[in-house]
Amino acid sequence: MRKPASAIAVHGILILYTALALFPIILVIMNSFKARKAIFGAPLALPTPSTFSLIGYDKVFGDSSIVSYYLNSITATGGTIFFTLLFGAMAAWALTEYKFRWNTLLTLFLAVGIMVPIRLGSVAIIQLIVELNLINTLTALILVYTAQNLPLSIFILSEFIAQIPKDLREAGRCDGLSEYSIFFYIVLPLIRPAMATVAVFTMIPVWNDLWFPLLLAPTGGKQTITLGIQQFLGQYITDWNAVLSALSTAIIPVLILYVVFSRQLIRGLTSGAVK
């Protein structure tokens, strides 16, 4: 960036693209706080005291199920993260630390799940979930999402576990720890940063997914917020206040989480964890 002219050009392009990326999001949030007339009359204006209105939000939260959809999403996402991290770290530890005959084969077996989308098995997944009597339950979602996210998390965590110095695990053995204690008292605390990265990677797609909620828990009050919003939008398609507010309700928490975790997420992405 020696020449100021080229620096300005680069910043110009980046600012333009950033504006393009943010414009739709800002537009929706901004207009969700306006009365219907202002939405159509001056869509690009910020809400003013005279145009300010929360009528859309009243409708969204008046539909009391939105709150429970949020709780469903939190439960499904939280449960998925918990089991993905716990079982993923356990498997990653065994695959990196222990020698056994099927080690390589098992690793390849797990690698299949990184590349092949689990969605393609949806027909059989539904049959299985019906069979298990888990249709319209969050348990079904947690099980499927955990299966979906385990392979990648195992691979990311394996890389981190392999970086723990061998001396450290052996010091544990000399200190009289069982293999189980070595995992829970030494390995788990040391891979906490890696687990945070995996948690963020897991959280975003699970929270945003529409497919499996649509297939496995479409009714019965167990909808996730993404599906709930989709259904809500379909129902109120002509009520612009309600639509914009519903969209904002879905966007804002994710944006807050993103701003909080963006450093973690980008660091995870740029640390070469996914390759």
Partner 1 sequence: MADAKAGAGNAIVGMGRGSYAMLLVFFLGPAVVIYTVFSIYPLLATIFNSLYLRQPDGAYIFNGLGNFQTLLTDTTWSAPFWNAFRNNCYFFLIHMLVQNPIGLALAAMLSLPRLRFRATYRTLIFMPTMLSVVIIGFTWQLILSPLWGISKMFLNAFGLGFLFAPWLGQESTALITVSLISVWQFVGIPMILIYTALLAIPEELIDAATVDGLNQFQAFIWVKLPLIFPTIGLVSVLTFVNNFNAFDLIYAMKGALAGPNFSADIMGTLFYRTFFGNQLQLGDLSMGSTIATMMFLIILIGIMCYLFLIQRRMQRYSF
Partner 2 sequence: MSEVKIEKLCKSYGPVEVLKDIDLTVEDGSFVVLVGPSGCGKSTLLRSIAGLEPVNSGNMTIGGKQVNDLPPAQREIAMVFQSYALYPHMDVYNNMAFGLKFAKTPKAEIDARVNEAARILQLEPLLKRRPRELSGGQRQRVAIGRAIVRKPQVFLFDEPLSNLDAALRINTRVEIAKLHKMLKATIMYVTHDQVEAMTLADKIVVMNNGRVEQAGRPLELYYKPNNLFVAGFIGSPAMNFLPAQVKKGGTLALSDGQELKATLPSSCKTGDSVTLGFRPEHMTLGGTGNFALTGTVDIIERLGESGFAHVRLPSGQTIIAEVRGDPRTSSGQSAKLTFNAENLHIFNAEGRRLG
Contact footprint for partner 2 (CB under 8 A): 165, 167-168, 170-171, 173-177, 181, 186, 189-190
Least distance to partner 1, CB of residue 176, Å: 12
Distance CA 240, CA 249 (A): 14
Length of the chain: 275
Position 226 contacts partner 1 (CB under 8 A): yes
Position 266 contacts partner 1 (CB under 8 A): yes
Residue 48: contacted member of partner 2, partner 1, none (CB under 5 to 8 Å, by partner type) = none
Q: Is 255 exposed, middle or buried (0-12, 13-18, 19+ CB in 10 A)?
A: middle
Please provide residue 52's backbone torsions phi and psi, each rounded to the nearest 5 degrees. Answer: -65, 135
Stretch that binds partner 1, among 50-58, 59-67, 188-196, 252-260 (CB under 8 A): 252-260
Least distance to partner 1, CB of residue 224, Å: 10
Residue 118: contacted member of partner 2, partner 1, none (CB under 5 to 8 Å, by partner type) = partner 1
Residue 47 C-beta-side C-alpha neighbours within 13 Å: 17
Residue 14: contacted member of partner 2, partner 1, none (CB under 5 to 8 Å, by partner type) = partner 1
- Per-residue x/- track, 34-53, partner 1 (CB under 8 A): -----xx--xx---------
Distance CA 93, CA 187 (A): 8
Distance CA 24, CA 22 (A): 6
Q: Is the CB of 186 or the CB of 257 nearer to partner 2?
A: 186
For 275, the 3-state DSSP assignment is: coil
Q: Is the CB of 58 or the CB of 175 nearer to partner 2?
A: 175
Handedness of CA 58, 221, 240, 22 (dihedral sign): positive
